[in-house]
Amino acid sequence: MMSKLLQSVALAASMMVAASAVQAQELKIGYVNSERVLREANLAKAAQVKLEAEFGKREKDLRDIETKLRGAAEKLEKDAPTLSEAERGRRQRDIVEQDRDLQRKKREWQEDLTQRKNEELSAVVEKANRVIKQIFENEKYDLILQDAIHASARVDITKKVIDALNAQK
C-alpha cells in the first residue's frame, strides 16, 4: 500500500513538473479520501447494517455459549473437592471439548464475517470507482488520486464522490 502511495505521489509530482514546463496548460487534479468514502457513504453504512443483521445473532449465540461454559468451569472448580475423581475428570473433558468447539465456531464466524465484509466493501469500492471515473470524465480532470499523504481542500473531491454515491439508488 505504501509503494502504491509513493507511486501516486511520484506520478503527481512528475505531472506537476511536466505542467510547469509546458505552462500553457493547467492541470486539474482531484483527491479522494477512500477511507472517508467507506465510512460516510450511505452504501457503506447500509452494508455495515446488513452485516450486523446477518452476523449479530451468531455473535450473540457465541457469547451465550461462552458465558455458559465459563459458568460450568466455575461450578466445576467450586464442586471439585466433593466430586469423585471419575466425575471430576468427566466434567473437565466435557468443558475442554465444549471450549474447543466454541473456539472452532468463533473462528468460523470470524472467517465468514471477514469474507462477507470484503464482499460488501468491494461492491462499495466498485461503485465509488465508477462515480470517480464519471466525475473524472464529466469535469475534465487530468488526474484523480486516492489516499495521498497530504492534499489541500482545494483538490479534495471526497464530498462530491460521497454525494454522488448517496444520490444513486
Tell me the pLDDT tens digit for each residue of 54-76.
999 999 999 999 999 999 999 98
Determine the structural domain holding residue 99 and report its residue range.
Answer: 2-167
Q: What is the CATH number of the domain that holds 56?
A: 3.30.910.20
pLDDT score of 19 more than 90: no
Would you say 55 and 115 are in contact if contact means Cβ atoms under 8 Å apart?
no
pLDDT score of 161 more than 90: yes
Mean pLDDT of 138-152: 89
3-state SS of the chain: helix, strand, coil percent to 5? 80, 5, 15
Grid cell at residue 64: 451465550
The values of phi and psi at residue 138, to 5°, are -65, -35
User: Identity (one letter) of the amino acid at 12?
Assistant: A
Would you say 154 and 26 are in contact if contact means Cβ atoms under 8 Å apart?
no
